[in-house]
Each structure stands twice: as C-alpha cells, then as structure tokens.
C-alpha cells in the first residue's frame, strides 16, 4: 500500500508528528555544533554533519515505520561521478548521502538561508543553483572542481520534486557537466513519493525501493543523448517498481 491508496490513520499522523519533532531538534543540535567545527577539514565536518542524515533515516524508521532497500549498489563506480536522480520527495536528499560519500548536490540558493538547516547545508559545500544561462556555466565550473576534490556531484535533473508517476522535463546540465569532466553518469530511480509525498507533512509506512542504474558513458555521446538515456532508464525502472515487478 502507498500514500496514494491509503487514508491517513491516527498512527500515520502521530508518527509523522514525532518524526518532525525529532528532525527539528536534531537540526538545531547538529547545525549549532557543526558551525563550531567549521574550521576543521571538510571531510571531518562532513562526517559529523551527515550524522544528522543517518539519525533522521533511523528516526524515520522508528517513528513512521518507513524504511528502504537499495538495489544495484554494485553499479556504483569506484571513483566519484555525476549522479542523476529522480526527485519526488525530501527523502532522497537524505538517502543519497549514505550511498555517495562525500557529495555535493545542486540545490536552490534559498535553502541556504533557512536558519540552522541552511547553515548546516552550507558546511557541506553544495552547489547553489543560479538562474538562466549562468546556471549551466556555474554547474560546470563548480561541479568539475568538486569532482577533482573527490566529491560526487548529485543533480536532480527535473529541477523540482514531481508527483509520483509524473515525468518532468529532464534538463541536461548534469549531462553537460559529466561530458566536460570526462565522468560517467549514474542514474538513480526510487519511489519515495509513494510514501513521503512532496510538500507533505505525512509519511506512510512501507519500504522505499532505490535502484542504482548501470553507469552511462559520456565520451561517445552528446549531452542530449546522455540525459535522454538516463531519463528513459529512470522512468522505465519506476514503472516496473510501481507495477509490482520489483527493483
């Protein structure tokens, strides 16, 4: 059963409220301590700040009975690369941090202005998204720098969270970065929106499937071909998961 097919019971509401309380308190704690650790090397403060992620995934399972399983982990390359992920929920921004370490992800600049939460994000060296033509240029410059420094670059090519079953327009910025940097692209599919819908306080119990796809080489393809291949794989994998075919 998913969020789209079951009503919100008292247990769902109570669990979601308990999760929110723990998330807010842990955000204040980790951000406050993290700021004090700002002078430390990036990897050390990254490890501490992402303890917030690990706690919240555990807390999500404890309060909302929402867990996840990963398939295709053997497809993760040995060296950092560009990750193109489906965007349906806030959940994947947490879960991907446990798979690709360390990482920088492309996000809205406004998120960095949120008290405590944004301060903690800033310590992880994200790529704050620009607008217009400047956006792709900035992604290429900062993304290449992050890859050289040994960080994965996570991009949500649809740009915003989409409802389950809806395919947004896949923008090619991440594919352009991968091609310019000589990197492969790692596609990620998941059905988190079925259990933790976008813009929703409620979280339904269940198991989210996250699937890591085979890396897509970029040297012999145009950026348009790369993004099209990644998008087709992601959407086909999601249709299979939601049809009950498994990950």
Q: What is the pLDDT along the chain (247 residues), one digit of tens a residue?
A: 455 567 889 999 999 999 999 999 999 999 889 888 888 888 888 889 889 999 999 999 999 999 999 999 999 999 999 999 999 999 999 999 999 999 988 877 777 778 877 777 777 788 877 666 777 888 889 899 999 999 999 999 998 999 999 999 999 999 999 999 999 999 999 999 999 999 899 999 999 999 999 999 999 999 999 999 999 999 999 999 999 866 6
Q: What pLDDT is recorded for position 1?
A: 45
For residues 197 and 42, give the distance between their C-alpha atoms in angstroms, rounded to a whole number.
Answer: 32
Q: Are 26 and 50 in contact (CB under 8 A)?
A: no
Q: What pLDDT is recorded for position 5?
A: 62
Q: What pLDDT is recorded for position 197?
A: 95
Structure-token pair, residue 66: 């929402």
Q: What pLDDT is recorded for position 122?
A: 78
User: Is the entire prediction scored with pTM above 0.85?
Assistant: yes
The alpha helices in the chain, defined as continuous H runs, are: 10-36, 42-49, 51-64, 91-99, 117-122, 133-148, 173-181, 223-242
- Give me the residue label for tokens 């352009």: 176
Q: Fold for domain 66-242?
A: Glycerol-3-phosphate (1)-acyltransferase (3.40.1130)
Exposure pattern of 150-177 as b/e (b: 16+ CB <10 Å)?
Answer: ebbbbbbbbbebbebeeebebbbbbbbb
- Give me the residue label for tokens 């004090």: 36
**Helix, strand and coil percent figures for the chain, each rounded to 5:** 50, 15, 35
Q: What pLDDT is recorded for position 155?
A: 94
For residues 191 and 197, give the distance between their C-alpha atoms in angstroms, rounded to a whole number.
Answer: 10
Q: What pLDDT is recorded for position 144?
A: 93
For residues 5 and 56, give the distance between their C-alpha atoms in angstroms, rounded to a whole number.
Answer: 25
Q: Are 189 and 213 in contact (CB under 8 A)?
A: yes
Q: What pLDDT is recorded for position 113?
A: 77
């Amino acid at each position: 059963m998913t969020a789209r097919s079951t009503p919100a019971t008292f247990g769902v509401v109570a669990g979601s409220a308990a999760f929110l309380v723990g998330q807010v308190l842990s955000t204040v704690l980790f951000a406050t301590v993290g700021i004090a650790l700002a002078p430390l090397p990036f990897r050390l403060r990254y490890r501490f700040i992402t303890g917030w992620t690990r706690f919240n995934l555990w807390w999500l399972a404890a309060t909302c009975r929402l867990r996840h399983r990963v398939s295709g982990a053997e497809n993760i390359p040995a060296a950092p690369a560009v990750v193109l992920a489906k965007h349906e929920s806030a959940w994947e921004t947490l879960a991907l941090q446990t798979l690709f370490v360390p990482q920088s992800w492309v996000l809205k600049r406004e998120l960095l202005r949120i008290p405590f939460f944004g301060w903690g994000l800033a310590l992880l060296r994200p790529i704050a998204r620009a607008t217009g033509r400047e956006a792709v240029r900035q992604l290429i410059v900062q993304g290449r720098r992050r890859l050289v420094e040994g960080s994965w670059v996570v991009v949500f090519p649809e740009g915003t969270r989409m409802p389950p079953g809806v395919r947004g327009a896949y923008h090619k910025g991440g594919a352009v970065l991968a091609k310019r940097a000589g990197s492969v692209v790692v596609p990620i599919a998941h059905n988190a929106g079925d259990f933790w819908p976008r813009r929703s306080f409620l979280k339904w119990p269940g198991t989210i499937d996250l699937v890591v796809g085979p890396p897509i080489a970029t040297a012999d393809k145009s950026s348009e071909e790369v993004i099209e291949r990644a998008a087709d794989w992601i959407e086909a994998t999601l249709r299979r998961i939601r049809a009950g075919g498994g990950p």
